[in-house]
Each structure stands twice: as C-alpha cells, then as structure tokens.
Amino acid sequence: MSIPQLQVTDKGIIAPSTDEVISGLWELFRNAFGQDLNTAMNTPQGQLVTSLAAIITDERNQMITLLNQFDPRYAQGIWQDGLGYIYFMTRKQATHSSVMLVLNGLAGVTIPAGTVFNDDNGNKWQLTNEATITQDGKVSVHAQCVSAGNINAVPDTITGIPKAITGLDRVTNPYAAIAGVEEESRLDFEKRRRASVAINSKNTNASTYGAVADLADVKDVYVIDNPTDETIQVGTTNYPVIRNSILVSVVGGDDETIARTILNKAGSGCSFNGNTECVIADTENFPVRPPTYTVKFLRPAFVPVFFSGYG
C-alpha cells in the first residue's frame, strides 16, 4: 500500500504527515492511471488527491483523539467520566446561586415556597421555604436561582414581582447573591480525581481534603493542621488554630455529612476548629453503642470585593 499507515508504538501513536499522505496518493494514482499522469494540484485528479488526503488525515486525527481519551491527562467529556468511575467518582453538576430576600408587606401574609421573583437581568429566583411577614412588616427568606450556574445578583437587583400577591408590597435583596458554580470542568475533575487517590487513607490532610471535596454540593475546601503545642494563626484573617488540631474550611455541602467525613478521615485523636459544630456518632467503627464526638469545621464569611476604575 503506497499510503503510509499509522504506527502504534510503545511511545504512542505516530501518524504520517499530510504531505506524506499526498505523496502516497499520487503514487497510487500513477500506478493506476500511468506514470505520465499530470500531478498538478489544480487538475481534476489534483483536486481528488487533495480531498482524499483531507478525509484520510481527518479520520486519523479522530483516531488519535480517541486513543488520547484513555489518558487521564487528556480525557474529556464522557471519556473522562468513564475514568472517574474507576475511582467511584461522578462529575459534579452545576449548582444554583442562593440569596437572602427581604419581603415587605402586610403582617400575617404568607408567601408560599416556590414563589418566583425576577432580577434586573431577567433571571428568576425561587423561595425555598414558606415565609410569613412579621408584625414589623417584613420577613427574610432564602431563595435560589431557578437556573443553575454562576449567576450573580448585586444588592437591590431582585425586585420584580411577576405575579401579584395580596399583601406583598415589595421585595429586594440587601446583599449580593452567593453565586453557584458551573458544571465541573475537565481540569477541575482531573484535579479532584488526583486528590481522590488519598480518599482511602486516613489521618492526613490529603485524605480529609479529598473526601470532603468529593461530597455533593461542596464548592471549595481548605485543610490545615496544627501539630504544635501552641495556638497558631493562619490565613489573611489570622484565624486561630488550637494546639494539636485540624481546621477544615468548607463552602457548600451538608453540615452533618461534612462533619461525619471529617471525623472518619481526620480521626478522633485531634481537636477541631471552626464556627459550625455537629455531634456525630462513630457508627463506622462501633455499630453498637457508638461513642459520640463534637466535630467542628469552619464556614468562612463571604467578603464583598469592590473594584475602583479610573476613566
């Protein structure tokens, strides 16, 4: 065969260049139609060689792309999902932005869960719980964006009431929404897969980080320990971490699930730090009459960031 073939070697796949494919096609054509065949590219046979070379090269490029999907460094989409299944991982889906709304109106009026309000950009925000306006004429209630993804809402932009409700005068958001996240990207999924290798271990920062980061709805994690006998300060806020303890800072996720994961991975031999605490029974190691532990972790404060431009 005059057209050079792909070579699958121990170092990977080697594909001939487009020029080599074209040369092989001309050799094939000369053997079929005569050695005196005009090989100018602007002839009918030249156009046919060009088209066939493009078809062959494209097909081989597709084959190379497919073979690369078996390498976690390059895999993407469902191929990367398949590699993740080996580690019992699934790609994290997009999450919904959340916000605290203040409803003003007649005392005693109940606003049902699921009521929708609009922001200035046309996004819809839905109440997650039923709310009753108090005697001072207002009530604060949690809402989330109907559409998933990184959707922002600056203060006082969720003000639209698409369907009139008797006794409800106005709605607003005094603070900016906590933006959701998009579906986990190829790079983020691969970083989490690499970190997940430590999930099966225990009593290390890496194992705690990997296990907590893998939980549903967890958006970000930070883990640090203090093996010394003195309290230390960490981060830009100089957060105190007491002696012989671990600090796990988490954005998103369920409190009890996070606390249980921290106990299982960090162990009960250290102290915990944070502003959120849960009482967890160690049923993993003691199914009958399990001991209980108070596990703390940190829910970091959301700090507004402002930019000043010069025009």
Q: Provide the residue-wise pLDDT of the chain in tens; the chain has 311 residues.
A: 688 888 888 888 888 999 999 999 999 999 999 999 999 999 999 999 999 999 999 999 998 888 888 888 889 889 999 988 888 888 888 889 999 999 999 999 999 999 999 999 999 999 999 999 999 999 999 999 999 999 999 999 999 999 888 999 999 999 999 888 888 888 888 888 877 766 666 778 888 998 898 888 888 899 999 999 999 999 888 999 999 999 999 988 899 999 999 998 888 788 999 999 999 998 877 888 889 999 999 999 877 676 776 65
**pLDDT score at 2:** 80
Same structural domain, 140 and 214 = no
CB 88 within 8 A of CB 79: no
**pLDDT score at 147:** 93
Same structural domain, 213 and 281 = yes
For the chain, how many helices (H) and strands (E)?
6, 17
Same structural domain, 213 and 293 = yes
**pLDDT score at 310:** 62
- The two three-digit tokens of residue 287, written as one number: 């199914």
Same structural domain, 283 and 203 = yes
Nearest to 50 by CA among 41, 40, 62, 38: 41
**pLDDT score at 198:** 62
Residue 77 counted as domain residue: no
Amino acid at 85: Y
Same structural domain, 135 and 212 = no
Q: Based on the structure, what is the number of domains in the chain?
A: 3
- The two three-digit tokens of residue 244, written as one number: 């012989």
Nearest to 101 by CA among 123, 128, 80, 122: 128
- Confirm whether pTM is higher than 0.75: no
The bridge status of strand 245-252 relative to strand 271-273 is parallel
Same structural domain, 288 and 212 = yes
Residue 193 counted as domain residue: no
Residue 84 counted as domain residue: no
Nearest to 98 by CA among 37, 163, 167, 147: 147
Rounded CA separation 223/234 (Å): 11
Structural domain boundaries, residue 128: 96-172
